A = this chain, B = another copy of it.
Amino acid sequence: MELGTVSVTPWEAEAFVDYDRLIKVFGAKPLTDNEINMLKNVTEELHIMISRRVFYSHRDFDKFLEAYKSSRRCALYTGRGPSGNTHLGHMLPWIFTKWLQDKLGLDLFFQMTDDEKFWHTEEREFEYFNSLAYENILDLAALGLDHRKTHVIIDSEDIGYLYPIVIKIAKKITFSVQRATFGFTDSTNVGMIFYPTLQMAVAFLPSELFREPIEVLIPAGIDQDPYWRIARDIATSLGYPKPSQIHNKLLPGLGIGGKMSSSKPETAIYTTDPPELAYGKVVKAYTGGRATAEEQRKFGGNPDVCPVYKMYEMMFEENDMKLYERYYSCRGGSLLCGECKTELAERVARFLKEHQSRRIRAVSHTEKYLIRNKFDPPIIKRT
């Protein structure tokens, strides 16, 4: 989908986009005080990613919360295209999802789309992406996601869970719809054309596994919305509740503009980066500061376009008062970029050190997250 010069499809998304315009183009709704109060009513406190509108847009989040409050059975769904090591931009929605899971006590279905990443990427063997899926599970475990309630579907190996649902979805969608929604052309490979049915299927999987209609909430980047827009269109005719969504903004990379992306590794913080390497990346980050310390003191910096400030805002400063102090100290010129970056670099390095030690401890129990070790695939009821 083209938004002026900014491109947003599931395969291409910028970070500093006009999110208000994006909501309109996609036809989603902005997250308002109404939904936020409904959530707080249930969770008692609010995650910073909600209060700061990192999650900023939704489809039927209010209906999902109503269903939850009226004790209808609910579940969460998110996922990952394992194209490389995990970076903080990937972790952002997972951190929120974990919070939501803890607060609401819900099962989370987590899809690893190793097939899609292979279909979309030149030059790599399929086995590379499959291996990455397992590597990426370590980050879920290190985040502390509860393996008793977190069920990982690796497309290539767990296709049996999705295929009975995919069969019904695939009949409802023509090539024209795929073309219009995803920009496919005649030279698109069959894998890419097929893939969206798999990402839709997970939204309906909980209803099959628990054999009752399950209300599913999907926390994910808004770039993924097109899949579930179609899923919502066909849900009722397939006998499933429409999945609801809550969309996050994308974490910027440490360079000028653009989301944190594996295509610019020097501006991305990977969970596998040695802490001192990550420290260095942060210290070298682009900022919203002035050319010299003198100018900065005189005119102040601009946190609104600063990826370092965004890192604090979106992930690394829990305390609202301290965040506002940082914002206005920057604006006012009393906080210089060097100091601000050093402090972030220390927090990032500390986070990585702890994450990596949890990651190592997770190696022995990734199997516990696999859906195949916990559920039987949906059964086809023969007539």
Contact = CB atoms under 8 A, between A and B. Distances in A.
Interface of A: 115, 118-119, 125-128, 130-131, 134, 156-157, 159-160, 163-164, 167-176, 178-179, 184-191, 193-194, 196-197, 380-383
B157 A170 contact: no
A128 B383 contact: yes
A184 B175 contact: yes
Residue with the highest number of chain B CB atoms closer than 10 Å, among A130, A157, A170, A186: A170
A125 B119 CA distance: 30
A259 to B, nearest CB: 26
Contact of A159 (B160, B174, B187, B382): B160
A170 B191 contact: yes
Interface residues of A: mostly helix, strand, loop or mixed? helix
Contact of A187 (B164, B170, B175, B193): B175
A159 B163 contact: yes
Given A167-B126, A194-B193, A383-B127, A174 B186 contact: yes
A170 B119 contact: yes
B380 A157 contact: yes
Nearest to A191: B170
A211 B196 CA distance: 31
A168 B382 contact: no
A382 B175 contact: no
B381 A127 contact: yes
Given A130-B380, A163-B163, A173-B190, 6 more contacts: A130-B382, A156-B167, A167-B191, A175-B175, A179-B186, A193-B193
8 shortest interchain CB distances as A-B pairs: A170-B191, A131-B382, A194-B194, A176-B186, A159-B163, A170-B190, A131-B383, A160-B160
Contacts of A125: 383
A380 B127 contact: yes
Contact of A118 (B126, B171, B197): B171
A137 to B, nearest CB: 12
A187 to B, nearest CB: 5
A187 B174 contact: yes
Nearest to A379: B157
Nearest to A133: B382
A128 to B, nearest CB: 5
A171 B127 CA distance: 14
Nearest to A125: B383
Contact of A175 (B128, B174, B186): B186
A13 to B, nearest CB: 23
Contacts of A119: 167, 170-171
A255 to B, nearest CB: 30
Given A167-B126, A186-B174, A193-B175, A382 B115 contact: no
Contacts of A130: 380, 382-383
22 contacts: A115-B163, A115-B167, A118-B167, A119-B167, A119-B170, A126-B164, A126-B167, A130-B380, A131-B382, A156-B167, A157-B160, A159-B159, A159-B160, A159-B163, A163-B163, A169-B190, A171-B189, A171-B191, A174-B187, A174-B190, A175-B185, A193-B193
